[in-house]
Structure 1
Amino acid sequence: MTTTDDGRGILYPTRLPSFHRVPAPPGLEALLRWFWIPQWSLAAGRTSRQEVLPFPASNLVVQPGAVTLTGPSTRASFRDLTGTGWAVGALLRPAGVVQWHPEPERLRDTEVPFEAPDLLVSVEAALEHDDGAAARGEAASAFARWAEDRMVLPDAAGRLANAMEELIATDRAIVRVEQVAERLGVSVRGVQRLARSHVGVTPLAIIRRYRLQEAAVRLREEPAITIADIAAELGYADHAHLSRDFRTVLGLTPRTYRGGQ
């Protein structure tokens, strides 16, 4: 199972402001992966660009004055941080996102307002605590209590969608949709329907996103390993195919990314 110390998704960890993940409490693990909480306070005139390769999932996010639902992204993304700020987000599992939006495909590459004034008030109040760790813990707890009051346990389709996503996320050998179908005991078409209805992107897109995230981690943390070896270990036909996917999604080559760490 993926855990809060999972290094995937953050492209330049050393450039992060304060960033913490809090695991979903018992009872919510089938609906939320974790809460993520960045906080920053930058000097006047300074900007910090935070670049991410998002997980193939949706997020429910509380920020000062607003709550939004953000769908799965097909590209790397960035946010320029200035001044002082924070966010508290919940990374939704497939069984969780469908409880907030019936058609995750319509959320793809989109952020929409989400009406939850009580959630906003409780999280904002928690983050007023003077102790940073205590504030983060209370903010995550307030978010969890709000979710527990409104979300229900997954149905059979939700449980199967979670199993699909977990399999792809944790088994590096999964590089084809047919492998997912065989492991789950369903048809390829069934896997495709699950991905569309509970994630909002194709199963192949989910596979490629996790493999690209893993490639970025290897490039960043293992400078001695060759790009060709990383490509082979992650199921790419060759170095060129990994480089093509990297350029398409991140806008730069693996070599350029590695050199920018």
Structure 2
Amino acid sequence: MPDDDHGVADRRGVLYPARLPTFHRIAAPVDLAALVRWFWIPEWRLEHGRISRQQLLPFPASNLVVGPDGVNLAGPTTSSSHRDLVGSGWAVGMLLRPAAVPTLVRDPSRLRDREVPFHAPELSAAVTAAMATPDGSAGRELAAAACAAWCAARLPPPDEEALLANAMEDLIAGDRDIVRVDQLAERLGSTVRAVQRLSQRHVGLPPLTTIRRYRLQEAAQRLREDPSVAIAQVAADLGYADQAHLSSDFRRVLGLAPRAYRRDAEADPRG
């Protein structure tokens, strides 16, 4: 599958990466790195009558997404979801850092498992024009540049609280030993209550939910990419009390057991 990730090939949020359409990720410019993690651009051209179902893990972050029909703001998700692609199309998304979220939505918890129209006609026009460029690679670069210019003009530099929210996300995503909110608060030099407020304002989910979603993403990635690792070992490595707790989390959020997910991922003819 063609893919020019530009050094950002993290796919923990995708259940079956082999089923993706042509997919590109472009890192945000250094001066926007505190506000946008990366730009993501799927493109597809399917035969008439064919449907490509994209299944996604819950992801504790918000995205600003530009498509041919306009701009949407998508909030954090708490359960697995899917999108059915038909015909031909594209999207240009911005995976937002927590620091950027309060500028775009007062209460991100109201966007939990939802996406709403976002009024940004100039962004929509610039990205649509870029994606119409005959040279696909150049068009994607122009689209990412248009998104970056829009963000630079409209998102203020992060203040101290916003940077702390980013640090919270980085700790959760990068340190698998963090499995409780009190551990997170201690690492941030804060209190549990303060971390809860920070997460509410900048993520829209309780911090424990965010922790568990990242661990579940890591579990799915390991089960998919390393057929030799035991499920019990994955559970232990990611802070679950035992294999049964990991299996329960998998079933509740994804609707299938770890063993069934691993079997499906291995058997996928597009893998």
Q: Is residue 2:247 matched to residue 1:243?
A: yes
Cα deviation code 1:128-160 (max 9, x no counterpart): 111211111111011111111111111111111
Q: Is residue 2:53 matched to residue 1:49?
A: yes
Number of positions where the alignment pairs a residue of Structure 1 with one of Structure 2: 259
Query: 1:167 is matched with which residue?
Result: 171
Match of residue 252, structure 1, among 225, 236, 256: 256
Q: Is residue 2:121 matched to residue 1:82?
A: no
Structure 2: tracts of 5 or more residues without a match: 1-6, 266-271
Q: Distance in 1 between matches of 2:181 and 2:191?
A: 10
Q: Distance in 2 between matches of 1:241 and 1:34?
A: 32
Q: Is residue 2:198 matched to residue 1:211?
A: no
* Secondary structure of residue in 2 paired with 1:98: helix
Query: 2:151 is matched with which residue?
Result: 147
4+ residue segments displaced more than 3 Å: none
Match of residue 73, structure 1, among 73, 77, 99: 77
TM-score normalised according to structure 2 size = 0.94
Q: Distance in 2 between matches of 1:33 and 1:80?
A: 25
Q: What one-letter code is carried by the residue in structure 1 that aligns with 2:188? A: L
Match of residue 36, structure 2, among 32, 35, 39: 32
Give the % identical residues. 62
Equivalent pair of 2:71/2:117 in contact (CA under 8 Å): yes
Shift of 1:250: 0.8
Equivalent pair of 2:59/2:78 in contact (CA under 8 Å): no
Q: Distance in 2 between matches of 1:131 and 1:243?
A: 46
Q: Distance in 2 between matches of 1:10 and 1:206?
A: 16
Query: 2:139 is matched with which residue?
Result: 135
Cα deviation code 1:236-256 (max 9, x no counterpart): 000110011111111111111
CA RMSD of aligned residues (A): 0.8
Query: 2:188 is matched with which residue?
Result: 184
Query: 2:102 is matched with which residue?
Result: 98
Q: Distance in 2 between matches of 1:75 and 1:131?
A: 37
Q: Distance in 2 between matches of 1:76 and 1:194?
A: 25
Q: What one-letter code is carried by the residue in structure 2 that aligns with 1:238? A: D
Q: Distance in 2 between matches of 1:54 and 1:86?
A: 22
* Secondary structure of residue in 1 paired with 2:30: coil
Q: Is residue 2:66 matched to residue 1:62?
A: yes
